[in-house]
Amino acid sequence: MVLYMFVFFLVYALAFAVPDLIEGYQKLPPSSGPLTSEELDQAEEISRRAVRGKLHLAFAAALLTTAAGAWFRALPGLRG
């Protein structure tokens, strides 16, 4: 059950964060070489803003999905 929880958490965390990550990526200027320290700082801030406040939602959604899957015996390995 913990494995299901972990996988659902990753799926939901990515689903909640990816739109903001894409938006931030599009705002960065094009780079032809290795990233500078300023560009790395910008990328770090974009990633922080993308997940801020959303990890709790991803955990709650993963918990509810795992609980519903176990309750309705829809998850393989938990059907016994």
User: What are the pLDDT digits (tens) for 10-69?
Assistant: 999 999 999 999 999 898 888 788 988 998 999 899 999 999 999 999 999 999 999 999
| Total domain count, the chain | 1
Residue 78 forms part of a structural domain: no
Range of 21's domain? 2-27+37-71
Is 43 part of any domain? yes
In a domain, 77, yes or no: no
Residue 80 lies in a domain: no
Q: Is residue 16 part of a domain?
A: yes
Q: How far is CA 75 from CA 5, 9, 47, 70, 71, in A?
A: 11, 15, 32, 6, 9
Asked whether residue 11 is assigned to any structural domain, the reply reads yes
What is the pTM for the complete model shown?
0.83
